[in-house]
Amino acid sequence: MPLKFNTKKAVNVILFILKSLGGKCDPFRLFAILYAADLKHLASFDSLILDDSYIAMKQGAVPFNVYSMYLQLCHNADTDAEAVALNLKEYFYINEQNLVVSIAPYDDRYISQSEATCLFEAIRENKNESFETLSKTTRNLPWREANKNGEISLLSMAKESGASPELLNYISHSLNEGTAFAGDSAAE
């Protein structure tokens, strides 16, 4: 079961978060909320919300594909074929304060009840935290264990989240067989 990022779902999850935060958010808070929600969903439901790979950046864990979407908006560039077809600028933009601002409603068909619950919890816990606190929270053990390319292991995230022994065994076995989570194999 390799991770399969879905840009359309990501757009709707981001719009969901932005709506919950009054329509705009700084990018690092958005990334921190996604990371917290993914850890919660991994622990409770054995899956990530976006199936995005996380990378260890200087200030903390960042979802790779969502970060790429953010960079595309910042630079007015559409290099990803799926993002070009979707036209990210129809959904949000980056304002003069460098905040991500929503300009469209989210489509709830892309967000399950379990995902919404984890997203709401992560939003509630992180919406008022300082940048320093968010950075410290996302520079946890998986961040410190990232491989030399900065890739954060899904197994390490699952351990951090308190995932079930069955999920930990499944991820570990998949990594050993080379059948899943390709971005993690170098980390283990």
- Residue 94, helix vs strand vs coil: strand
Note whether 35 and 133 are within 8 A (CB).
no
Domain range list for the chain: 7-184
Residue 31 pLDDT greater than 60, yes or no: yes
Residue 182's closest CA among 34, 6, 63, 53?
Answer: 53
Q: What is the pLDDT of residues 115-147, one digit of tens each?
A: 999 999 999 999 999 999 999 999 999 999 999
User: pLDDT of 145-182, one tens digit each?
Assistant: 999 999 999 999 999 999 999 999 998 888 777 655 43
Please give the average per-residue pLDDT across 65-80, as a whole number.
80
In the sheet that holds 100-102, the strands lie side by side as 24-25, 100-102, 92-94
